[in-house]
Copies of this chain bind each other. A is one copy, B any other.
Amino acid sequence: MPRVTDAHRQARRDQIADAALRVLKRNGISDTSIAEIAEECGLSIGAIYVNFENKAALARYLANRLFAWRIEGLETLAASEGVHTPAELMRPLLASMFDENRPPLPVILQFWSEAIVDDDLHAVLVEQIEKLRASLERALRPWADAAAGGDGGELATRVAGACLIMCQGFLANRCLLGWMSAEEYLDAVTTALGAGADRSERYSAIGG
């Protein structure tokens, strides 16, 4: 047998995945050919098919790696002591989107789009985002218990979901429009739906 079948194979897969991510960033998912990935990673087309069943399988492998980054960050935050408010937990999540060393945001948007058409890729995204949500829910639990004045399990579930949806919006907006910073976003949302909105509800002509 040639090569160290374990470490070497994993290194090759990552070498290909890293190159694929770079090409994807430049070209988008449908304008990226296997040939271009092969050129980018310095291997041949055949080498890619030795390591991945096909293009879709490579995409799934990439999708898994894409989310691993963000889940790790959230897990350490969830494990840390203290009560974290939703805003405090969203801050690092949103801030991580500006980190140049992370997988680029536009690629994630490409994967969202592709997942609508590719059911297997969709399953990967659902699984990974659910992990993200569960981490966030765990991190939110102390706050939720305090806010609910007892068992905050259901509250943590709902709020974790809503926070991630807000993050998804921020990601999409940042890729396409780049309207505002994370801090401005959190402030504006708080103003829109928080105390400020309550205070002015008496002016409303429509009502609840």
A interface list, Cβ under 8 A from B? 27-31, 81-88, 106, 109-110, 112-117, 122, 125-126, 129, 142-143, 146-147, 155, 158-159, 161-170, 172-173, 175-177, 179-180, 184-201, 203-206
Q: List 12 A-B contacts (CB under 8 A).
A: A27-B117, A28-B116, A29-B30, A125-B176, A126-B176, A158-B187, A162-B189, A162-B192, A163-B192, A165-B170, A165-B180, A189-B189
Instruction: Give the CA-CA distance A189 to B110 in the complex, in Å.
Output: 26
Contact between chains at B204 and A82 (CB < 8 Å)? yes
Instruction: Give the CA-CA distance A185 to B168 in the complex, in Å.
Output: 13
Instruction: Name the contact of A200 in the complex, choosing from B85, B114, B164 (C-beta under 8 A).
Output: B85
Instruction: Give the CA-CA distance A31 to B91 in the complex, in Å.
Output: 37
**A83-B162 contact, Cβ under 8 Å, with A155-B191, A194-B194:** no
Instruction: Name the contact of A112 in the complex, choosing from B86, B87, B113, B126 (C-beta under 8 A).
Output: B113
Instruction: Give the CA-CA distance A125 to B168 in the complex, in Å.
Output: 18
Contact between chains at A192 and B113 (CB < 8 Å)? no
Q: How far is the CB of A80 from chain B (nearest CB, A)?
A: 9
Q: How far is the CB of A207 from chain B (nearest CB, A)?
A: 8
